Amino acid sequence: MEFTVLLLSAFVTSSISAVLGMGGGIILLGIMAIIIPEGYMVIALHGMIQLFSNTTRTFIYKDSLNTEILKQFLIGSIIGAIISGSIIATIASYLQVESANQIKVEALKPLIGVFIIWYLFIKKKGEKRSSSFFLVGGISGISSIFIGATGPLIAPFFLNKNFSKENIIANKAACQTITHLTKIPLFIYFFNLDYIEEFDVLIPLIVAVFVGTNMGKKILGFIPEVLFKKLFRFVLFLIALKLIAYNI
C-alpha cells in the first residue's frame, strides 16, 4: 500500500513540476518523509528520483535552455558540493561517527522559507540583481544534501530573467539536474548508500515521473504566460510557508 502511494505521488508530483516548474519535488519529499523513517534515506532516494524527473523535464524543454546560465551554475554547483562534502566530513569527525547517516542533515528548511519570502515581497525592486548563476549554483550545491529539495531555493532567481514559461521550467530543471548529479556521489561516499540495492523501489518511481512529466508538458500548453508566472510566484509562496512551519 505504501509503495502504491509513493508510485502515484511520483506521477502526480512530476506532472505538477512539469506544469508549474516546481512544487512537485517538495511535495514528494514530504510524502516520502512520512513513509520512510530514515531522514538521510529520504533525501538520498528523493535525489535519484528527482534526477530523472528533472532530466526528463530538461529534455522535453531542451529548445528553451540557456547554455550560459547552465555553465555558470555547473561550476558553482561543483564547488558547492565540494564545500558540502567538507562540512559533512568535519561534522562526522567532530561527532566521531562511522558514517554520516548517523547525522541529522535536514535542518535548514525554515531558513530557506524566510529567504523566499524576503526575495518575493521584501527585497526592493530597485536593488541590483545579479546576472550570474555561479553563486546560485554554489548555494544549491552546498545546501542540497542538507535540505533535499533545492528547487524553491533557486526558483526566485529565474524570476529575474525575461523568461517565457518554457524558459523557466527548462533552465530550472537543468540546474536541478546538475545539483542532483553532484549530490548523489556524496551520499554514496559519506552515507554508504548503495543505490543498486534500492533499484526495485527506484525503477518504478522513475518510470512514474517520466510519464507524469510528459503529461504535464501537454497541460502547460493550455496555460497563458501571465497566469503561469502568477501561479509560479503563488506556489513558491505556499512552499515558503510550509518550509517555515517545518518544525512546528
Asked if the model's pLDDT at residue 96 lies above 70, the reply is yes
Q: What is the separation of C-alpha 185 from the centre of its chain, rounded to a whole number of angstroms?
A: 16
Of 215, 137, 218, 225, whose CA–CA distance to 181 is shortest? 137
Q: Is 198 exposed, middle or buried (0-12, 13-18, 19+ CB in 10 A)?
A: middle
Q: Which residue in the block uniquely carries the three cell numbers 514528494?
A: 28
* pLDDT per residue as tens digits for the range 109-122: 677 677 778 777 77
Helix (H, G, I), strand (E, B) or coil at 247: coil
Could you give the CA distance from residue 65 to residue 174 in angstroms, rounded to a whole number? 8
pLDDT, mean of residues 12-20: 84
* pLDDT per residue as tens digits for the range 102-158: 666 555 667 767 777 877 777 655 554 556 899 999 999 988 887 766 777 888 888
Q: Are the beta carbons of 225 and 165 closer than 8 angstroms?
A: yes
Helix (H) and strand (E) counts in the chain: 10, 0
DSSP classification of residue 132: -
DSSP classification of residue 222: T
Single pTM value for the model:
0.78
**Dihedral sign for Cα atoms in the order 143, 144, 146, 151:** positive
* Per-chain mean pLDDT for the chain: 82
Query: Is pLDDT larger for residue 196 or for residue 235?
Result: 196
Of 120, 112, 115, 122, whose CA–CA distance to 160 is shortest? 120
Of 131, 127, 126, 118, whose CA–CA distance to 158 is shortest? 131
Q: Is 162 exposed, middle or buried (0-12, 13-18, 19+ CB in 10 A)?
A: exposed
